[in-house]
Amino acid sequence: MNRLIPPFPTDIPQLSTNNFVSWHDVDFSGFLSLYSLFNFAQATAWKHAEELGFGFEELGDNKLAWVLFGMRIKIIGNLPQWQQNLIIQTQPKGISGMFANRDYRMLDTDNQLIAIGSSNWLVIDIETRRPLRLDKVFDSLRFVENPENLVSRIKTKGDFPLSQNNYTVKTSDIDYYGHVNNAKYISWITDLYSPEQLKEHPLDEILVNFLQETRFGDQIEIFTDKAENNGKVRYKMQRKSDEKVILLAEAEWK
C-alpha cells in the first residue's frame, strides 16, 4: 500500500474531486466517518468511469453494472472535520483476472496525504447477476500491464467464535440496484463498538471483500474473532436464511 503515497503517474488518466464534509458526513467525533469516506471514494470512482466512457449509463444501456468486490483503505493522517474538504484522487490501473483495479489518494486542502486506498471491481450482467470477463466488455481497459493487486482475497480459515450482532436489512440500507449499499457494511462494523472504544483505538487500516448481495429483509449475523477493537480483528457477515458468507473483513485498530 505504501507505494500509493507518492503522486500518481501522469501518463495514466486520473480524476481529483473536492468533497465538502457536511454535518451528516461526520461521526460522534466531528471527523469524517468511515461510512462517508467509503461513499466519497465510490462516488469518485463512478464519476471517473463516466468520464472515461465506461460508467453507469454506458453499462446500463447494455444491462451491465459495476459491482465493488473489494476495498482496502489505510488511514495516514487526521480525517477532515465538519465543514472542511476532502480531496480524493483516483486512477485506474488495469485488469487483474476478473477484476478492474483502481487506486485512491485522499488529501486535505493543504495537500497533505491523509489516507490511501485501492479497490477491485467486477462487471455483472444485471439479469443473470453473473460476472463477465472484462476483455469481453471493453475494447481497452489495460492502463497498466499486470497491475499489482492490493486488495487480496480474505480466507475463511480460522474461527469467528463471537456472534456480535444480528441485523435485519432495512429500506434505508438499499441502493439503486436493490441491494445493500457497500458503505453500509462499514457502518455495521463500527456499530459493534462504543464511541469510547473507537476513540481509544481508531482505525489504522481495513480490507473488505464483498462476497454476496444482500437485500431488503435479509437477516445478517455478524461474527468476529475478537471482542475488542484492539490490534487486528477479523469479521464475517453471514445471511441466516442460507448461511452464505456475504462479507469478510480484516481491520487493524491502533
pLDDT (tens digit per residue) in 124-179: 888 888 888 877 676 666 566 677 889 999 988 778 999 999 999 999 999 887 88
pLDDT tens across 169-212, in order?
A: 999 999 887 889 999 999 999 999 999 999 999 999 999 999 99
Mean pLDDT of 96-105: 90
Fold of 2-137: Thiol Ester Dehydrase; Chain A (3.10.129)
Please state the CATH superfamily assignment of the domain spanning residues 162-253 in this structure.
Hotdog Thioesterase (3.10.129.10)
CB neighbours of residue 90 within 10 Å: 24
pLDDT for 59:
78
85-96 and 231-239 strand pairing? unpaired
Do the first three CATH levels of 2-137 and 162-253 match, i.e. the same topology?
Answer: yes
What DSSP element (H or E) covers 90?
strand 85-96
- Percent of the chain beyond pLDDT 90? 69
Domain parsing of the chain, residue ranges: 2-137, 162-253
Q: Which residue carries 465506461 as its cell? A: 54
pTM value is 0.92
Please say whether the beta carbons of 25 and 33 come within 8 A. yes
